[in-house]
Structure 1
Amino acid sequence: MRSALAVLGAILAAMVLASCVTPKPGPGQTVRIVVRPTETGLSASYGLPGPATRFPFRDFAGDIRTDAWSTATPGAAIVDAAVTFSAPTTAFQIAISPDTSQRDRIYPALTPIGAGWLIYAPHLLPAEVGGLVHDVDFSLPEGWVVIGRRDSKGELVLDGWVYAGPESPVERGAADVVTAPETPAWLRAEVLKAANDSAAVFTGRLGVSLTSRPGIIIAHFPKERSGGMRGDVTPGAMVSVRFYGEAWSKQAPGDAEQVHEFLAHETFHFWNGDMVDSAENSDRPWLHEGGASYAALLALDPTPAPESVPLLKGINENLGKCQSALEEGQSLMTADMRGGDTPYACGVVLQWAWDAGLRATSGGKRDVLSLWKDVIAEALRANREYSVASTLRHVPREAAKAADVLLNGTGADRWTAFADALRGYGAVLAPARVVDEDRATALMHILGQYCNGQRGFYTRPTHLQLDTGDRCGPLNGDKEFDAVAGHDVIKDVSAMYDRIREICAASGVIEFTRNRTVVASAPCTKPLKAPTLYLRVTRAFGAG
């Protein structure tokens, strides 16, 4: 572990209590919170400085609390972001169970890590207001430890991830690494190598070392059917990476590259989301997230050729999604892009536009990581925040043409103008069908005829898995399949789309098969639209 993290080693409140019967709190009033593990999660006991009829929490996360939290305190009820009391109360207790699902852009409150727990501490704290102090005590069994960001005095800051659990899965060195026991050895090794390698790239290119000792919490949940992976960074270079589904138990072709890109994205957030952060994260997350995603592509190939396969793959995957999501009457600056994949997709396209422009206008001496170096340096000299406006100050006008179209352009000719501007920087792109969009459009067209509520599918290396549960009639059961309408869902997607379109036009039956055995079928009675053409890139920028 020490050798794998050598580079990371080298780079190394207030609270509110609102009550209709309590006067505004004065100095020295303390909310005392005691956290204890239970057989099913955590227990949090709250002692208040005075009687209250309502206790609002710091972070909203209302659906987490109403879903996985409960209270047995007489007269108490959990409602969205608060606990209410039928009569003035000075103490109450909450039982916290693990989150039942992963929510978009909301940190999970409680995640099992072997016998211990990963806690997002801010969800436990009351809303902030002057006058109150707080004291949080972890009452733990013998042999348990607490790992999280600490201040200069060694006190827990409680502004992000906290691991509370047995010492046995903790390795201390250049970073504090906590590995859940279900995590395969190959996966742990790739996570740490990816963190180390990407940190080395970013430290060198951004010109500033991390000031926090990182904490990395790695977990695998093989029984989770959802598949995929999730990651979140909190202050103090604390990162949680979580892998879902049996598929991660054994390494498959392409898994290492996927893990490395994923970890590079999260590692970049040590700089653009921890050391400094976007002042516009709530409304324009695409600057923060797209920056990390494109930086991850460059970490995979730090000196990419214009035809770099990993770089082109990443650009094209995101370009198709962004074109699909960005409506004709909206620019990136005016569109609501706060959920799903869209902030990442359009954010990557913006970063690529800046990257191509900077490379072309500097003779290859500058790129988007040079831009981030300047943005981060300026933020460190000021209030540790950056924005779209502060970023644009570091992009010469000639290098910003394509990005300006994306940021501010609207109308039917927006993407044509975008492509023309990028061609001016040496990129090569033309309209074409996009496999991911063909696949998603065709399958969601079928699911849309039967599903009530959540529907979708997960992509595996060699096949797909429906996310239908009991909500989609003949397509219920989360079936796994490798072909639809006789065509491979990974290798023959456009032909699959065309065949589905023919079947739907004739009101025929669509068959889902696995190893040539039918696993599900459903009539398609609504016509499928002609395939959409999206810009596809074959050269990312000029030779420089």
Structure 2
Amino acid sequence: MPWKEAHAIRSMGGGDLMTEWYRTFLVCMLLALLTTAARADCASRHLGDVRVKVAMREGAVQLAFELPQASSCLRFKSGGRLRLLNWHIHGAGRLSSAGDILQWEQPVRSFEVRVSPSALKDGQLDRTYTPVMPLGDGRALAVYSDYLLLDPAFGRTTIEFEGLPARQGLMQVGHQRLTSEDPPGFFLLGSPSVERFGDDALIVDQSLPAPLMKQIRALMDQGSRQLASLPRPGGPISILAMGGGGQGKPSWRGDVSPGLIRLGFYGQGWGSADPALARVVAKFVLHERFHLHNMRLRSGAPAGVFLLEGGADAVALGLQHQQGQLDDAAYLGQLNLSLQQCQLSTGSTLRDKEFLGGDLPYHCGLVLVSLASWAASGSVLDSRQPARLWQATLKAVGDGPYDWHDFLAAARQTAVPGRQGVIELLEQLVHDRLTLQDALAAPAWRGLLQPASQGEHEVPALSSEFASRTLMSLLERQCTGPYGFHLEDGIFTLDTAQARCKAAWPDRFPVARLNGLDFVRQGWQAAQSVWQSCKEKGEVQIADAQQARTLTLPCPDIGAVPRLYRLVPPEAPASGPT
């Protein structure tokens, strides 16, 4: 308030009002100073060894913290925004607005927290581990250890619990201990059902249908037999097969943390005899199973996640092809779907596409590994070649990490005469010295690639994939933090409750139309429309099915709609890119 206005209020008998204004101002300043002082105190001190006892109670996680000395604050390592969702702190403690600092008005030596698993559903947040996940049978909870650790600069954390450390293979459920020095990963509270699977442990959620578990066991055995010659770093491991319940169509989510492969199955229908669903399960399980072999990716390797995930997809599809689950046409169709997904995403280089994240590393990586295999074997339908290249790569690096240099060196050693240039193209592509469009247009692919026709893009099964890919590309440029875009009861639902977006996204927005075009039935045209309107207008409109709710999303010029190529079988006439 300017001084002249304040003086006028006082002269009219407003002294009490002015005094109240100053009092409010001073209180606000004092609170700000206290908050700043608490943050500075947390930033400047090392508390020492903090012990966290973790237990499962009434379907939730109970945390009991014991501090070596009284403190008025704790600073945590990660997961602050998720912590704000499901931490219920006993007593007077409160979390900072970022969720990374827990504060009290008076120093404490101990306190308890109840962590509810119900605030988050697994798979709703893109590229973010759901920190607490209940098994469907109610016998155990999976907890991500990093979620409980203090910032290492503030203190060392020891986690104690009754359960199963999912990083050491088959063990008896009992008293366990993890520390800040252990690699982050999931551990299990409670008494899960554990089976021996060779040297490893198979942790079984009893809520999963028996036919599904039978298929999982058979697939794990298939992977063990067919990949027996591949080096496998590390010791015994645990495989967690868990259900998450829920309604709607089947969905799945897998991940690998040190010592644990997690297979999550959600929705209804997993017990059916649907052959298409059986193929989905096979690719999913075999992909995650292969991570036993390729998990030692060199940290910071250019386009490394493409090799990690795309390489696992290439081997999984190859095993399905060899078992007769995919014929030649279906196998090639899967490769072409990934090729088109990779081309349709915005961003010209692999680094741009890695920034977009989501499932792009799987699609683009599968394409790159398949192209390298074609150069080394002579046929894109030689589905054994990806595993051969992995075997040569892992044998060459021994116990050390690997990256694209090692993988392409293996391909170069066995390259078909005349295809050394293909390896050089891939080398330039993974190091961002070449755009994807320029790489695919090179004459080196003659006999393998040819331009795709418009009709191939408009296949209903692919149509919504194209629109989804385009929308996700835009979303990555609008939002930071965890968000989701997933099918829910047959409707594509945008979930940005925990994200920070430039546009005011309403939570759980049902996306049915892009620029007035049907998201599912006219997906290819909708995707083209988005590319065009971003170039000409700088914005795109999304709407629900009735177009009663609309949202205008600003977008950058993402260039021209790419020219799409497709892989052709060896016997097909192919003119090659022009």
Is this a same-fold pair by TM over 0.5?
Answer: yes
CA distance in structure 1 between the partners assigned to 2:445 and 2:211 by the alignment: 42
Asked if residue 247 in structure 1 is aligned to residue 269 in structure 2, the reply is yes
Asked if residue 110 in structure 1 is aligned to residue 132 in structure 2, the reply is yes
Contact 2:54 2:159 in 1 (8 A): yes
Instruction: Between 113-122 and 70-79, report the one with greater CA deviation.
Output: 70-79
* Pair 126,150 (structure 1): closer, same or farther in 2 beyond 3 Å: farther
Residue type at the aligned position of 2:218: K
Return the match for 1:138 from 147, 158, 161.
161
Residue type at the aligned position of 1:213: P
Asked if residue 190 in structure 1 is aligned to residue 190 in structure 2, the reply is no
Local SS of the residue matching 2:74: strand
Unpaired runs of at least 5, structure 1: 1-17, 140-144, 499-509, 513-518
1:199-221: CA deviation from partner (whole Å, max 9, x where unpaired) = 322222x2x24653332222223
Residue type at the aligned position of 2:360: T
CA distance in structure 2 between the partners assigned to 1:337 and 1:380 by the alignment: 30
Asked if residue 120 in structure 1 is aligned to residue 112 in structure 2, the reply is no
CA distance in structure 2 between the partners assigned to 1:227 and 1:110 by the alignment: 21
Return the match for 1:386 from 393, 398, 402.
402
Contact 1:70 1:95 in 2 (8 A): yes
Return the match for 1:309 from 329, 343, 352.
329
* Pair 375,530 (structure 1): closer, same or farther in 2 beyond 3 Å: closer
Tell me the residue number matched to 2:450: 429
Asked if residue 291 in structure 1 is aligned to residue 321 in structure 2, the reply is no
CA distance in structure 1 between the partners assigned to 2:520 and 2:470 by the alignment: 18
* Pair 89,313 (structure 1): closer, same or farther in 2 beyond 3 Å: farther
CA distance in structure 2 between the partners assigned to 1:107 and 1:90 by the alignment: 30
CA distance in structure 2 between the partners assigned to 1:355 and 1:373 by the alignment: 13
* Pair 297,442 (structure 1): closer, same or farther in 2 beyond 3 Å: closer
1:369-399: CA deviation from partner (whole Å, max 9, x where unpaired) = 3332233234434xx3223344444442445
Tell me the residue number matched to 2:196: 172
- State TM-score, norm by structure 1: 0.71
* Pair 497,57 (structure 1): closer, same or farther in 2 beyond 3 Å: closer
Please say which structure displays the higher CA radius of gyration: 2
Asked if residue 458 in structure 1 is aligned to residue 458 in structure 2, the reply is no
Residue type at the aligned position of 2:487: Y
Local SS of the residue matching 1:406: helix
Contact 2:341 2:363 in 1 (8 A): yes
Local SS of the residue matching 2:568: strand
Tell me the residue number matched to 1:342: 360
Local SS of the residue matching 1:48: strand
Residue type at the aligned position of 1:432: S
Local SS of the residue matching 1:277: coil
CA distance in structure 2 between the partners assigned to 1:123 and 1:486 by the alignment: 40
Q: After superposition, where does 1:507-522 map in structure 2 within 5 Å?
A: none
Measure how far apart 1:97 and its partner are. Answer: 1.3
1:387-416: CA deviation from partner (whole Å, max 9, x where unpaired) = 33444444424450342353356788x536
Tell me the residue number matched to 2:35: none
* Pair 226,151 (structure 1): closer, same or farther in 2 beyond 3 Å: closer
CA distance in structure 2 between the partners assigned to 1:442 and 1:182 by the alignment: 35
Local SS of the residue matching 2:255: strand
CA distance in structure 1 between the partners assigned to 2:224 and 2:44 by the alignment: 52
* Pair 520,198 (structure 1): closer, same or farther in 2 beyond 3 Å: farther
Unpaired runs of at least 5, structure 2: 1-40, 413-419, 498-503, 529-541, 553-558, 573-578
Contact 2:204 2:242 in 1 (8 A): yes
Measure how far apart 1:358 and its partner are. Answer: 1.6
Tell me the residue number matched to 1:321: 341
Residue type at the aligned position of 2:493: D
Tell me the residue number matched to 2:257: 234
Measure how far apart 1:254 and its partner are. Answer: 0.6
Number of residue pairs matched by the alignment? 475
Asked if residue 42 in structure 1 is aligned to residue 61 in structure 2, the reply is yes
Instruction: Between 212-221 and 277-286, report the one with greater CA deviation.
Output: 277-286
CA distance in structure 2 between the partners assigned to 1:485 and 1:23 by the alignment: 57
Tell me the residue number matched to 1:83: 102
Contact 1:178 1:217 in 2 (8 A): yes
Contact 1:43 1:96 in 2 (8 A): yes
Tell me the residue number matched to 2:18: none
Q: After superposition, where does 1:386-535 map in structure 2 within 5 Å?
A: 386-396=402-412, 397-404=420-427, 406-408=429-431, 414-415=436-437, 417-421=439-443, 423-424=445-446, 426-433=447-454, 434=457, 435=459, 438-441=463-466, 458=487, 464-467=490-493, 534-535=564-565
Residue type at the aligned position of 2:245: P
- State TM-score, norm by structure 2: 0.67
Measure how far apart 1:297 and its partner are. Answer: 1.3
Return the match for 1:71 from 89, 102, 118.
89
CA distance in structure 2 between the partners assigned to 1:282 and 1:106 by the alignment: 21
Contact 2:223 2:289 in 1 (8 A): yes
CA distance in structure 2 between the partners assigned to 1:179 and 1:107 by the alignment: 20
Local SS of the residue matching 1:104: coil
Local SS of the residue matching 2:487: strand
* Pair 292,67 (structure 1): closer, same or farther in 2 beyond 3 Å: same
Residue type at the aligned position of 2:227: F
1:278-316: CA deviation from partner (whole Å, max 9, x where unpaired) = 312797422211121222112222499998234312211
CA distance in structure 2 between the partners assigned to 1:322 and 1:336 by the alignment: 11
* Pair 66,55 (structure 1): closer, same or farther in 2 beyond 3 Å: same
Measure how far apart 1:256 and its partner are. Answer: 0.8
Measure how far apart 1:322 and its partner are. Answer: 0.9
* Pair 218,336 (structure 1): closer, same or farther in 2 beyond 3 Å: closer
Instruction: Between 365-374 and 94-103, report the one with greater CA deviation.
Output: 365-374
Measure how far apart 1:178 and its partner are. Answer: 2.5
Measure how far apart 1:239 and its partner are. Answer: 1.5
What's the C-alpha RMSD, in Å, of the aligned pairs?
Answer: 4.8
Tell me the residue number matched to 2:279: 257
Measure how far apart 1:537 and its partner are. Answer: 1.6
Identity of aligned residues (%): 19
Local SS of the residue matching 1:539: coil
Asked if residue 280 in structure 1 is aligned to residue 291 in structure 2, the reply is no
Q: After superposition, where does 1:341-360 map in structure 2 within 5 Å?
A: 341-360=359-378
Contact 1:55 1:84 in 2 (8 A): yes
Tell me the residue number matched to 1:11: none
CA distance in structure 2 between the partners assigned to 1:34 and 1:538 by the alignment: 58
Measure how far apart 1:455 and its partner are. Answer: 8.3
Higher helix share: 2
